[in-house]
A and B are shown apart, each in its own frame.
Chain A
């Protein structure tokens, strides 16, 4: 059981937008912007898609965006595409530990 809570699964149709939440506590997500998001296809290594809550690495599609409100960080994927179907993990600093959320499986219908 991770200290960062993500929905187990979300789904959406091509072209739609979806949002994946990552809920922590006032002492972690609520107090800093050290949240990153990773996309992982089955059998592959994770890929960084958002860091410091809002920033996007070069080369990552601008369809991916990060936000934060209170103790919850969110990843939004707009213009959903078939190849967005993957697992998504948030990660944040809790005390001195880096902690991953439990992961969210995105299904593109």
Chain B
């Protein structure tokens, strides 16, 4: 069965960086784009960007352009999302999400990684 298993909770100080991992299993890793979506406490879902593990191509929302990097390692079927220069409003649960067919069908979600930014 398809699974996306993410790394654990992180606590960071403002200005620091965080790198969240997402280990995929149960399907052919290079066949699907992985997106990253975050949700601040009590708030809605916010799309951050995607990575195509097959081609290594990424695309990010303009809001995160200068601060986010998405990478992948096909040898261990894992994608990573690194967010730099953290601020308090980056406190959120970060999800990796599998997309089917390049048409916005987000069918499997990682369990989420809570990132808390606090001094």
In whole angstroms, what is the CA distance A7 to B112 when docked? 26
**Majority SS at the chain B contact face:** strand
**One of B44, B59, B109 near A101 (C-beta < 8 A):** B44
Inter-chain contacts of A36 with B (CB < 8 A): 104-106
In whole angstroms, what is the CA distance A94 to B59 when docked? 14
A/B interface sample: 16 pairs, CB < 8 A: A36-B105, A45-B95, A45-B109, A45-B110, A46-B109, A48-B105, A51-B104, A89-B44, A89-B45, A93-B104, A98-B35, A98-B104, A100-B37, A100-B45, A100-B46, A103-B44
Point out residues on A near B: beta carbons under 8 Å: 2, 34-36, 38, 40, 45-48, 51-52, 57, 89, 91-93, 96-103
Point out residues on B near A: beta carbons under 8 Å: 35, 37, 44-47, 50, 59, 61-62, 95, 103-107, 109-112
